[in-house]
Amino acid sequence: MRAVSIVGIGQVPVEKSSERSLAELGASVVRSAMEDAGVDRLDALFAGNMLSDELQGQKHIAALIADEAGLYGVEALQVRAAMASGAAALRLAYLAVASGEATLAVAVGAEKMSEGVAEPALSKALDVQREVRDGATMISRNADLMRMYFDRYKVPEDAFVNFPVIAHGNAVTNPYALFQKAVTPRKVRRSRLVHPPLRLMDCSPICDGAAAVILAPSEEARAFSDHPVRMLGSSVVTDRFRVEDRKDPLWSDASHVSALKAFRQANVNRMDVDFFEVHDAFSIMACLQLEAAGFAEPGEGWRLADEKRIRLRGDIPITTMGGLKARGHPIGATGIYQTCEIVLQLTERAGKNQVRNARIGMMQSVGGAATTILTHIFGV
């Protein structure tokens, strides 16, 4: 198995509603990433998208993006793991290059949530027969977890307030972020109760976006980029599908095991991680991930936000470019946006969002209610 590096990135600004079609969005970032890597051909394209079946009426999106980007002839496949579909595309592009089947592969994520009503489609990440039919949605599941956390750990009512405050603070200087403005703790505390105890400011927004990264064998990476980033670890772990089938709903075993696997592959430990792009679709998810991945004890994850240790200058910065909360969470694109951001951080191109001495970056992506977890570790 050969080592793999990222040699090109492409992003479009996340928007509430893009005028471009899903295929155009995907193709535009593929072309940007190809330009960044200085290549005019690719061997393979792996597309991450979750919602196009229903929102666009389109079920063959990888080949459509390839055609739109002028890449027909290429291997093009779509890969899915619900909300972790972007990271799943990265995983498969990694396998294609690591195996030797592809020299240049692009992982592209694209999602256009502005057409139609996304929430019912998102809920199909749960078990339709045993959860959706009982009225569960992604929002209600996360509200349940938040309430359970409050009840068990007796934390203050505003324990999670600093997760969105810090994410929004970082998004201010990310030109690709949907919300480039700060929010105050007071604004978070007073935001609408969407699904108690979940407030609007605990939830990531519905939006459109696309991002792409190009992978090449590490030994050839310098031919394409002056600042390649190595993929040191890549793992996918599933948990029991339904939250209620797990021993402890507040403990994500998949997140824990996936992180350990990726640490082992990368030959690093938690202390080596300079920043951690979490899947903060909801503040409670960011908190539980920090605990499961080993950055806080169970029941203590919220303190990292409260003590502001997750800020850019903290000991474990998260959501360094705004996170899902403020950069935006265009589902199938999210994992690839995070990858682009990690590349910018590790190559000291993150501008005002730069994490100092960033050498190792970690990303975790979550499909469903912590059912599928992908961990990726990158380094320079």
Binding mask 131-160 for a second copy (x = CB under 8 A): -x----------------------------
Q: Of 168, 171, 166, 165, give the one whose Cα is nearest residue 352.
A: 171
Residue pair 335/374 in contact by the 8 Å Cβ criterion: yes
- How many Å apart are CA 209 and CA 332, to the nearest integer? 9
Smaller CB separation from a second copy, 289 or 371: 371
CA 261 vs. chain centroid, Å, equals: 18
Asked if 96 interacts with a second copy (CB under 8 A), we say: yes
Structural contact between residues 313 and 91, judged by C-beta atoms closer than 8 angstroms = no
Cβ(20)–Cβ(200) below 8 Å: no
Please report whether residue 6 would count as binding a second copy according to CB under 8 A. Answer: no
d(CA 39, CA 221): 12
Q: 45 pairs with which residues across the strands?
A: 76, 106
Using the contact rule CB under 8 A, the part of the chain among 30-38, 88-96, 196-204, 348-356 near a second copy is 88-96
By CB under 8 A, residue 238 contacts a second copy: yes
Instruction: Indicate which single residue of 1, 196, 313, 352 sits in contact with a second copy (rule: CB under 8 A).
Output: 1
Q: Work out which of 63, 171, 243, 278 binds a second copy, going by CB under 8 A.
A: 63
Residue 120: other Cβ atoms inside 10 A? 11
Query: Which of 7, 216, 237, 288 is in the footprint of a second copy by CB under 8 A?
Result: 237
CB-based contact 289:255 (threshold 8 Å): yes
Task: Scan for tokens 């507040």, then name that residue.
Answer: 250
- Say whether residue 260 binds a second copy (CB under 8 A): no
Candidate list 111, 127, 144, 306; residue touching a second copy; CB under 8 A: 127
Candidates 34, 74, 107, 292; binder of a second copy (CB under 8 A) is 74
Binding segment toward a second copy, per CB under 8 A, in 175-183, 235-243, 266-274, 310-318: 235-243
Under the criterion CB under 8 A, does residue 75 sit at the interface with a second copy?
yes
* By CB under 8 A, residue 106 contacts a second copy: no
* Interaction residues for a second copy, span 298-337 (CB under 8 A): none
Least gap, CB of 233 to a second copy (angstroms): 11
Contacts of 325 (CB under 8 A, 6+ apart): 163, 164, 167, 168, 201, 203, 204, 205, 280, 283, 319
Residues 103 and 217 sit within 8 Å (Cβ to Cβ):
yes
Per-residue mark of binding to a second copy, 14-53 (x: CB under 8 A): -------x----------------------x-----x--x
- Does 77 engage in binding with a second copy (CB under 8 A)? yes
80 or 279, CB closer to a second copy? Answer: 80
Helical (H) or strand (E) element with 236:
strand 229-238
Q: CA geometry: angle at 375 spanning 284 and 223, to 5°?
A: 135
DSSP assigned state of 182? -
Alpha-carbon separation of residue 368 from 91, 103, 140, 245, 292 (angstroms): 18, 32, 12, 14, 16
66 contributes a contact to a second copy by CB under 8 A = yes
Piece of 91-99, 171-179, 198-206, 220-228 that binds a second copy (CB under 8 A): 91-99
H-only helix segments in 199-353: 253-266, 283-292, 301-306, 323-326, 331-346
Answer for which of 31, 103, 116, 124 binds a second copy (CB under 8 A) is 124
Shortest Cβ distance from residue 30 to a second copy (Å)? 13
Backbone angles phi, psi at 272, to 5 degrees: -80, -15
Please state at what angle helix 22-37 crosses helix 61-68, rounded to 10 degrees.
60
Residue 220 binding a second copy, by CB under 8 A: no
- Using CB under 8 A, which of 164, 228, 249, 368 touches a second copy? 368
DSSP state, 31? H
Stretch that binds a second copy, among 121-129, 148-156, 190-198, 282-290 (CB under 8 A): 121-129
Q: Which segment (125-133, 207-215, 300-308, 334-342) binds a second copy by CB under 8 A?
A: 125-133
Give residues in contact with a second copy (CB under 8 A): 1, 21, 44, 50, 53-54, 56-60, 62-64, 66-68, 71-82, 88, 91-92, 95-96, 98-101, 121, 124-129, 132, 234-242, 245, 254, 257, 367-368, 371-372
